[in-house]
Structure 1
Amino acid sequence: MPKLKVKKSAKKRYKLIGEKKFIRRKAFKGHLLEKKSPKQKRNLGNKVVVSYSDTKAIRKMLIC
């Protein structure tokens, strides 16, 4: 049986920290930034820990 491949899109979006947690970027920071307040843009720049219920699916995509 061939090796399973990692989902490249998931590999680019998530990073494993510690043993069981993943971090991700927030959405809505890609474009249309002119109408957003500086405070909103600043907060969108921060990283976020992925919710526990989603970690199983992400782990499956990354074959960890």
Structure 2
Amino acid sequence: MEPQRFTVAGMTCGHCEQAVQRAIRQLDASAQIQIDRAQNLVQVQSSQPRAALATAIRDAGYAVSA
């Protein structure tokens, strides 16, 4: 399974990263998540649909594109 990549705006600190991780893990507790805050990049390996993951990130208060 290929990781899904999201461009996420608004992550400015470690707390932001944790909020994004929490949002994704509420949807899929076993998701593998890598965040590169400098590049505004979130990579998620999950069986959940892309749209559901993007919605979870948006609901945590972050803008998602791509």
Taking structure 2 as the reference length, what is the TM-score of the superposition? Answer: 0.28
Instruction: Kindly name which structure, 1 or 2, has the bigger radius of gyration based on alpha carbons.
Output: 1
More relative contact order in 1 or in 2 (CA 8 Å, sep 6+)?
Answer: 2
